[in-house]
Amino acid sequence: MNARTLIYLLSGAGCLAACGNGARPATAADSTVQAAKLIDTMNRMVLIPGGAFEMGTDEMPAQPDEQPVHTVQVDSFMMDEHEVTNGEFAAFVAATGYVTIAEKPISKEEILKELPPGSPDPDSSLLQAGSLVFSPPDHEVPLDDVSQWWAFKPGASWQHPEGAESSITGKEHYPAVHISWEDAQAYAQWAGKRLPTEAEWEYAARGGLARQNYPWGNEALTTGQPKANTWNGHFPYQNTKTDGFYGTAPVKTYAPNRYGLYDMSGNVWEWCADWYDANYYQHTPAGAHNPQGPDKGFDPADPAAPKRVIRGGSFMCTDEYCSGYRVTARMKTTPTSGLSNLGFRCVKDLK
Query: Torsion angle of alpha carbons 88, 163, 17, 296, nearest 10°?
Result: 60
User: How many degrees, rounded to 5, is the angle at CA 262 between CA 260 and CA 263?
Assistant: 150
Mean pLDDT of 317-333: 92
Across the beta sheet with 51-55, the strand order is 51-55, 70-74, 288-289
Question: What is the Rg, in whole angstroms, of the alpha carbon atoms belonging to the chain?
Answer: 19
What integer is the mean pLDDT of 290-302?
95
Range list of H helices, the chain: 3-11, 29-36, 86-96, 108-114, 181-190, 198-206, 280-283
Model pLDDT, residue 251: 96
Is residue 67's pLDDT more than 90? yes
Task: Provide CB contacts within 8 A for 26, sequence distance 6+.
Answer: none
**Cα 176 from chain centroid (whole Å):** 10
Residues 215 and 270 sit within 8 Å (Cβ to Cβ): no
Quick one: pLDDT at residue 3? 56
Helix, strand, coil percentages, rounded to 5, for the chain: 20, 20, 60
pLDDT reported for residue 24: 39
One-letter amino acid of 277: D
Best CA proximity match to 14, nearest among 145, 132, 159, 181: 132
Condensed to tens digits (0 to 9), the pLDDT of residues 223-252 reads: 899 999 999 999 999 999 999 999 999 999
Domains and CATH numbers, the chain: 3-17+48-349 (3.90.1580.10)
Q: Does the pLDDT at position 114 exceed 70?
A: no
Query: Which of the four pLDDT bands, split at 50, 70 and 90, describes residue 2?
Result: low
pLDDT digits over 168-205, tens only?
999 999 999 999 999 999 999 999 999 999 999 999 99
CA distance 341 to 176: 9
**Cα–Cα distance for residue pair 164/319, rounded to 1 Å:** 32
Type of residue found at 76: S
Q: What is the pLDDT of residues 212-227, one digit of tens each?
A: 999 999 998 888 999 9
Q: Is the pLDDT of residue 27 over 50?
A: no
* pLDDT tens string 129-178: 899 999 999 999 999 888 899 999 999 999 999 999 999 999 999 999 99
31 has pLDDT over 70: no
Q: Where are the alpha helices (DSSP H) in 134-277?
A: 181-190, 198-206
Q: Label residues 80-102 b or e (16+ Cβ within 10 Å = b).
A: bbbbbbbbbbbbbbeeeebbbbb
Whole-model pTM: value is: 0.88
Q: What are the DSSP calls for 317-346, one per residue?
A: -BTTTB-TTSTT--EEE-TT--BTTEE---
